[in-house]
Amino acid sequence: MSVWILLRGLTRESRHWGDFPGQLQTVLPGARILALDLPGNGAFHRLASPLTVQGMVAHARARLEDQGVAPPYHLLALSLGGMVATAWAEAFPGEIAGCVLINTSFRGFSPLGRRLRPRAWLSLLRMPLAPSAEGRERLLFRLTSRREPGDPPLWRIWAEIRRSRPVYLRNALRQMLAAARFKAPGQAPAPTLVLASTRDGLVASRCSLDIARRWACALAVHPWAGHDLPLDDGDWVAREIRRWLADGAS
């Protein structure tokens, strides 16, 4: 039985995956799928976020050991989670069977203006000024998604997540610092599939292309989804993973 570990991005937690774990399970019926929260987020929101991506790897490995979940693992990771997956595969290659990196970026592979779109800065600066959790999540939804918000609006659900397990500002800043400091290896540390969204409003899709070109690994680009690709079109993500595995996951 294969084990798939899902890792989210900056300040997000396992509940933000929404329906995606079920969509992935549909195409991988024999797999065990686990969504892990990083320190400072979700179930571990009271912990201090590590100042390094490698510290996040140590936390994830310890949690899996606590749960009795043994490697090898496939890592499916979004944004900051992609850095964690990469560091994990580099440090412990025997534990990682493959990585799926979604809308991530690496220092040294892409310039800062691609890693965080200039237009996204304004939205991020406005977020702390929003009068409510719902207002902040509405801004974030518009920045990261291209889907309809639904009824009730998805940002209302996210606001409840924020209220129930808030991410402290100091932890958000520590996660940003860890991401800014992380340096990826020059070669893919494990078989890798890179997925990108053409209409990503946060990170330029060119960053994913930069990774795929540098590592000479598999790449698939979605034509309309936003930064949160599993949210916008989780079925597409699952199908691309199934295709990659069928092709040998190289």
What's the whole-number average pLDDT of the chain? Answer: 95
CB 132 within 8 A of CB 159: yes
Domain ranges in the chain? 3-126+167-246
- Predicted confidence at residue 125, as pLDDT, reads 73
- Over the stretch 41-75, which tens digit does the pLDDT of each residue have? 999 999 999 999 999 999 999 999 999 999 999 99
- Predicted confidence at residue 250, as pLDDT, reads 65
Can you tell me the mean pLDDT for 136-155?
92
- Over the stretch 102-132, which tens digit does the pLDDT of each residue have? 999 999 999 888 888 888 777 777 777 778 8
Cα end-to-end distance, the chain, whole Å = 19
Using left for φ > 0, alpha for ψ between -120 and 50, and beta otherwise, residue 248 falls in left
- Over the stretch 154-188, which tens digit does the pLDDT of each residue have? 999 999 999 999 999 999 999 999 999 999 999 99
Can you tell me the mean pLDDT for 200-221?
96
Is pLDDT larger for residue 57 or for residue 249?
57
DSSP-derived secondary structure letter, 110? B
- Predicted confidence at residue 189, as pLDDT, reads 98
Domain 3-126+167-246 has CATH 1.20.120.420: no
| Percent of the chain whose predicted confidence (pLDDT) is above 90 | 86
CA proximity to 32, closest of 71, 79, 63, 90: 71
